[in-house]
Amino acid sequence: MSLKLLKSAALVLGLLAAAVTGPAPSVQAADKPVTVFAAASLKDVLTKIGAAWKAETGKEATFSFAASSALAKQVEQGAPADVFISADQKWMDYLSKAGLIDEASRRDLLGNRLVLVGGKDAKAVDIKQGLDLRALLGEGRLAIGLTASVPAGIYAKQALEHLKLWDGVKDKLAEAENVRAALVLVARGEAPLGVVYETDAKAEKGVKQIGIFPEDSHDAIVYPAALTRQGKGADAAAFLAFLGSPKASALFEEAGFSLMKTQ
């Protein structure tokens, strides 16, 4: 074969190799699902919203649900999250101070209420100063999120302290790793009472909401959402935007969440 033909063949092979290997990484990256780290209390509704987003766009979203504190620490340690949704401002602020979220994308998404739940036969109570919560617990414990780190536990401690009920129950707590774990303790009868979000009480048929904590007894319950610093561009931004769509808003309201006016 002549030198000219050899050069032509090499050129063709090089072009073919570039055609095979060049575009593939970007195509694969575009096909990767959006990874969403979200507060445990959002599990049911976000699963539905993820299905609705896939039906509308053909794109996948995968979810990791846990306490906001645990998820924020995972993001800090390099976990591959594209979107973070916290159950309080504290843990979003934590990532913000670390430079780990896209500040321009941050938005207050939802609101919720703090409630007391019991078994199916539990009687309603008026949650106010003077309530003998310890007597209601009997020999049992009060299921609650970790009061030092889990948003639901932090809100609950604030409310109990504000109503001067904390001293009566602080040695009777069953602290759980997240609000859903606290809910399960009541649903299984392992704790007679628990402090959870109103949406959790609505989602679990094994418990009964027996009281609502006054909104002025704790910080406002707000769920902020944002892209992480490593969020996958267009798809992650599109999913975050979809959370404010009429379809997603209807699902949030159906689950018992309130929509923030800034949405």
Q: How confident is the model at residue 179 (pLDDT cuts 50, 70, 90)?
A: very high
Task: Using the predicted structure, report yes or no on whether residue 10 has a pLDDT greater than 70.
Answer: no
Q: Where in the chain is the domain with CATH 3.40.190.10?
A: 33-111+222-259, 114-217
Fold of the 114-217 domain:
D-Maltodextrin-Binding Protein; domain 2 (3.40.190)
180 touches 40 (CB < 8 A): yes
23-39 average pLDDT score: 68
Q: Please report the pLDDT score of residue 14 as a whole number.
A: 47
What architecture is domain 33-111+222-259? Answer: 3-Layer(aba) Sandwich (3.40)
- pLDDT > 60? residue 212: yes
Q: How many CB atoms lie within 10 A of CB 190?
A: 13
Kindly report, residue by residue over 248-259, the tens digit of the pLDDT: 999 999 999 999
Judge residue 39's burial from the number of C-beta atoms within 10 Å of its C-beta, 0-12 exposed, 13-18 middle, 19 or more buried: buried
By DSSP bridging, strand 34-39 and strand 173-176 are unpaired
Q: What is the pLDDT of residue 230?
A: 85
pTM: 0.84
Q: Can you state the angle between helices 43-57 and 246-254, rounded to 10 degrees? A: 160
Contact residues for 190 (Cβ-Cβ < 8 A; gap 6+): 143, 174
For 65-92, what is the mean pLDDT? Answer: 96
Token output for 14: 């090089």
